[in-house]
Amino acid sequence: MRFPLRRFLAGGVTLPVALATVALLMPVSSILLGSFAADCGALNCGPGQATTFRQGPYFNHALPAGWLVVEESNTMLLLQSSDRSADISVTGIGGLKQLLTPEVFAFQRMAALRLTDVRFTSVVYIIPMAAYDGAAVMDVTYTAPTGRMRGLVVSNVATIYNRNVFDRTDGVMVLVGAKERGWDRYSNWLPEVALQAVHTGPNPFDTPRREAERASQADQMVSAHRDWAKRTWDELVAYRAKTQSP
């Protein structure tokens, strides 16, 4: 497993820290999100279509028009386009007895999902979600049961110590992928959709949390998470445009 040279957001880039988990029951509502969302079951995979915010048993998340909720559990959310050309996976786990970087955590999670031939490029470190102390965004290619895929990974890890002695690593990964030849139709809007997902159930990703605190700050937590998601994506887009310009 090889990772490319690390790159960091720099040059005055600032990203807000948002809270990673929340307890909020929010009814489904349809809104127009000008910067993302589309029904890619048809030929139109561009931004600007209606997107629904859905509250499920464990996650509150954006759902592009025409997309399906394939799986939802305490450790996994899987959304898929109706033509199965693209999907969003949000998966996390707690209590790992290894010191892990965001890249290695993402690699292990993808292996656990039985995704093979995983290759990361263009690693950029970002400000993590609250309750996490390291995060990275990576371009990725991999092989799924539906074929060769291309996409983006956002990985957050928390290194937990007990009296200065390493105890465990907790982490959460967002994977956005599409069939390799079609990724360009999704790349400028689908990652921002994926980042909206926030775990709202008890003991998210099987990691204990202080439920009383989560409940008392529910509205603020959801708002902060969505603000983090939007600003993180906007800053990443601006950073890449700057570094890739001739």
In a domain, 157, yes or no: yes
The pair of structure tokens assigned to 207 is: 């990691």
Number of domains in the chain: 1
Q: pLDDT of 120-153, one tens digit each?
A: 999 999 999 878 999 999 999 999 998 999 999 9
User: What does the mean pLDDT of the chain come to?
Assistant: 79
Q: For residues 209 and 72, is the Cβ–Cβ distance under 8 A?
A: no
In a domain, 80, yes or no: yes
In a domain, 1, yes or no: no
User: Mean per-residue pLDDT for 46-64?
Assistant: 81
pLDDT of amino acid 141: 97
Q: Which CATH number belongs to the domain containing residue 96 in this structure?
A: 3.40.1000.10
pLDDT at 42 > cutoff 50 = no
Q: What is the pTM of this model?
A: 0.78
Q: pLDDT of 211-224, one tens digit each?
A: 545 555 666 777 78
In a domain, 212, yes or no: yes
Residues of the domain holding 206? 7-244
User: Mean per-residue pLDDT for 198-217?
Assistant: 66
In a domain, 2, yes or no: no
Contacts 24+ apart (CB under 8 A), 178-181: 178/85, 178/86, 178/87, 178/149, 178/150, 178/151, 179/85, 179/86, 179/146, 179/147, 179/148, 179/149, 179/150, 180/141, 180/147, 180/148, 180/149, 180/150
